[in-house]
Structures are given as C-alpha cells and as structure tokens.
Structure 1
Amino acid sequence: MKCMVINLDRSPDRLAHVTAEFARIGVLFDRVPAIDALHRSEFAKTSSGLTPTEVACLMSHKVCWKIIANGDDAFGAIFEDDILFSEAAGPMLSHYGWIPADADIVKLETYLKKTVIAMKRTSVGRAFSVARLYGLHIGTAGYILSKQAARDLISRSLDAPADHVVFDPSLPSSSSKTIYQLLPALCVQNDLVCEKAFRLNSLLNEERLMKPRANSAPKRSPTEKIVVETRRIGRQIFDICRLRREKTISLA
C-alpha cells in the first residue's frame, strides 16, 4: 500500500521529523509536495469562507486523492508531516489485507476528542479492531482511502476544510462513504501530545486562530441549560438504540 506524506517545500524540519517517524516503524513513503498558499494569491479570493491555508491544504489532499484514483492499488494511505506513530504502526501499513472489503475510508488517527462509533467491533489482527465511524472526528493527519472513494472525492465541488470533507457526517462527501475508525489509533498529530518545546507548529491552526471571532454567546438561562442537557441525553439514547456510542479514541 502506497503511503504518501504531504509536505511544504519550505518545511524541511517537518520533512526530517516525518522521515524519522517512518524510518522508526520501517515503512517507506512518497513525499507529495504541498500546495503553498503563500504562492497562490487567488486562494485569498474564494467565496467559500475558507482561509488561504485551508484551501491549499484541501488542494494538497486532492493531489493525493488523484494519485490513489489513478494508481494500481485498491487503497492508499495519506499522512500529514506532523504525525507521531505508535510502535505498532509498521505492520499495519505494510499491507491492506486487513481493511474491510466495504471500506471507503479508514481513519488511522485520533484527535483525542469524543466521537461516535458503532458498538460492534471487528478484529483486524495484531490487537487492532475497526468500528464504523458515525460522528465528526476532525483531522486528516492519517487515513486510508479507497480508489473508488478517491474518484468520488475528486469529482465533487468541495468548499469545506479537508478534514470536514472527509470526516464530517453532515456533509455529502463524508455521509455517502463507509468510514471505519481503527481502534486503537496508529497516529496522532505532534502538537496534541508533545510538550511546547517539542511541538511542530500547525500552520493551519495558526491561521484559524487569526480568523475574526464571533461575539461570545450569551450566558444560558437555567431553562436553556436544561433544554441543552435534555437534548444531549436524548442523542445518547438515540445512539444507543442504533447501537452506537460516544468514545474518545485512544492511541496504540
């Protein structure tokens, strides 16, 4: 299975980091030069509401999707250059025989936040399992994409950040796919787990933080708090009835 890493030409430090990570787990990868928002002034003029870096990130992932769509393998793996792998990642990335036959996408990453997955798990060997992913689980630092899903994504008109395009069930690009979460996850973004001195700063997150923020929401009244909590409990009951549950995905 081809593993691709998206990396900006002006980020040799991140390339060195991800090269060391792949060497540590004994897996080869192909570098895919990222599209750089600094050199694409037209990205600042889009009407989608995306920041220039979000547009560039989406277009960079689209380059990888095209490689998978035109390649010989049934699946390809896409990574961003700030990932940290678990020790068990190597054998899982060496082949794709463990991937469910009906899978369009397999999320390999955890964002360490709660999401909704199916209660039913299917063992895929080496103490790993997969479960259907039904909730929003942002982040596109590590995922596997099928050839057919890649063809579908590149045929769509997309106007959302890459991680929402792939993993936001409220969007047609994601809701139309059979998506699995690998349990536990194989990788996590560096800045989510490393101390500040050892973090790789996220250009995307930095730009998102610079976006104008809407005025803070007014404080909820006691009645409004009861309504919100009632809805939350109702969603949980609804998920249980559909054999789904909320879970924070751990790292292997």
Structure 2
Amino acid sequence: MSLDKMKNYVISLATAQNRREHITQEFAKQNMPFDFFDAVIPKTSFDMANKLNLDINHHNDLSPNEISCFLSHVSLWQKAIDENLDYIAIFEDDVYLSNTANQFLSNTNWIPSDVHIIKIEKINEKINKLKNTKMINKHQLGKLSCVHIGAGGYILSSKAIKSLLNFIKNKPIEHIDQILFRDYFTSGEYDIWQINPVLCIQDCILYPDNQKFQTYLQWREKIDKPNKIKLSFFRKLIREVIRPFKQLCFKIFYPKITLVFK
C-alpha cells in the first residue's frame, strides 16, 4: 500500500527566528518534513482579506494581530484547496510535538474516510467522553462531544476546508479557534474528532507560568480575567451544594487528555 504524505505547515511570522528555530528542532527530532507558512501581518491584512473575499471590518472586537491570525489560517486553507491537497496538518509556531507524532504526521493513510477535522492538541485537562471511538496506533480517535478550543494543531481534509470556507462567509471575523472548535462544532457540516494522547501542545498550555514564547491573544486574557457576575445568596448556596457532585462526575466520567513525551 502506498503511503500518501501528510502536508505539515507551520504558521509563523517571517521575522520570528526563535520560534522558527524551535519548530525546526521539534520536527527534526522525528525526521518529519514540514513547511513554514508566512503569517499575515496587520499591514497586509486588507490585501489578504480582499483576495479571500472577506470583510474584516465586520469582526467581534478583535485586535489587528488577532485579525491577522485569523487570515493566516484561512489563507493557508485556501492554499490547500488551490494545490489540491487531500489533507493538511496546521500548526502554530509555539508547539511541542509528542514522541508519537511521526506515526500520524508522516502520512494520511491512517485517517478514516469519514473523518475530516481532527484536533490533535491539548487545551483542556479533561473533556466529555469521546464518541464512536477508534483505536489507531494505540491512540484513541473519537468525536468531540463538547467544545474544546485552541488552534495550535489540527488536521483538515479538503472537504472540511471547502465546508469551512463556506461557513465563514458573511459572518463576523472571530478568533480562529472559536470558529473551528466552537461555532463550527455547534452548527458545522462535519463532526470534529479528537486524538488522545494528543500529538502536540502549545507552550502557553504546557508551561503556563514559565512561557518561552509570549502570546497576546485577547481571548486568553479574558479567560484569565473574566468579568465577575454577582450571584444571589440562593444561587451561591446551590452552586456550593452541587460543586462536590460536579467535581466527582468530572473526575470519574470525563476522560483525561494526555500527552506523551520522550
């Protein structure tokens, strides 16, 4: 059986030398090919948006850098369509790869024909139980049953890309991971699958208190400093009563997302 090579692309600013050196070392450890994809910058955002026929003036309170991040991912999707790629693996340039990544990122033959979007990174410690699971190379591949954001590493088929490009038309520009793993997860055409153990993890998730690469995404700032909502005494009481039961259910029934390093 012939092996169809996976096309691995890492989105990175052309000037981000430290990040590029890091990524080159990560892929070289397992002798895996990849290409850099120069990230869109605010200065070129409007030109890229015009090429993609997108209105970036219509967005959900995003910074210029966040709009550029969105356009970087979408322009890479378009590149995959233009080059007739069956599958593409997309990474941001601050990821660390697991020691099993080469089993999945060297070819596409392991991907079932009914799977079109695969999340291959870890953001949450645990998630709802995966559905319709398949065992592939001692990894579990299953349908996500809850939102699991983050766009540090994922795989798309050409069918998924066409569906996503159609999905974002005439919608406000949003954080790329929110579009993929929240909005599309909720109402998109294809199911979203999760691989576990994961194949990669971003620096800010692996080392939250000692990051090597700083990030400036507003959604993380909002998570770190959420707007507090004042609750009534009754609602606070109910919350505290059910808290231990929720924690117990979370511990027992929610599978842990793991990562395997050498």
Aligned partners of 1:8 and 1:35 also within 8 Å: yes
Aligned to 2:254: 246
How many pairs align?
Answer: 241
Within 5 A, what are the aligned runs for 1:22-101? 22-37=27-42, 40=45, 46-101=58-113
Please report how far the alpha carbon of residue 40 of structure 1 lies from its aligned counterpart in structure 2 after TM superposition: 4.3
CA-CA distance at 1:192 after TM superposition: 1.7
Letter in 2 for 1:179: I
Question: Displacement, 1:51?
Answer: 2.3
How far 1:198 sits from its partner (Å)?
5.4
Q: What residue is the counterpart of 1:240 in the other structure?
A: none
Aligned residue number for residue 21 of structure 2: 16
Residue 153 of structure 2 is aligned to residue 142 of structure 1: yes
Correspondence for 1:190: 203
More strand per residue? 1
Aligned to 1:161: 175
- Cα displacement string for residues 66-120 of structure 1 (whole angstroms, at most 9, x for unaligned residues): 1222333321100000000011111211111111211120111011333224254
For 1:107, the equivalent position in structure 2 comes to 119
Secondary structure of the 1:185 match is coil
- Which letter maps to 2:203? N
| Residue segments in structure 1 that go unaligned for 5+ positions in a row | 238-244
- TM-score, length-normalised on structure 1? 0.81
Q: AA paired with 2:179?
A: V
- For 1:80 and 1:30, the matched residues in 2 are separated by 12
- Determine whether 1:4 maps to 2:9: yes
For the structure 1 residues 121 and 171, does the alpha-carbon distance in structure 2 shift closer, same or farther, using more than 3 Å as the test? Answer: closer
Q: Residue deviations 1:171-230, cap 9 Å, x none? A: 47764322110011010001222375552111325x85389x775211452445526976
How far apart are residue 139 of structure 1 and its match? Answer: 0.8
Q: 2 CA distance for matches of 1:228 and 1:210? A: 24
**Where does residue 53 of structure 2 map in the other structure?**
none
Contact kept, 8 Å, 1:5 with 1:80, in 2: the verdict is: yes
Deviations 1:9-68 (A, max 9, x none): 231111111111111121111111101125548999544322222211111000111122
Contact 2:9 2:34 in 1 (8 A): yes
The 3-state SS of whatever aligns with 1:67 is helix
Q: Structure 1 CA distance, aligned partners of 2:115 and 2:38?
A: 27
Equivalents in 2 of 1:106, 1:53: separation in Å? 25
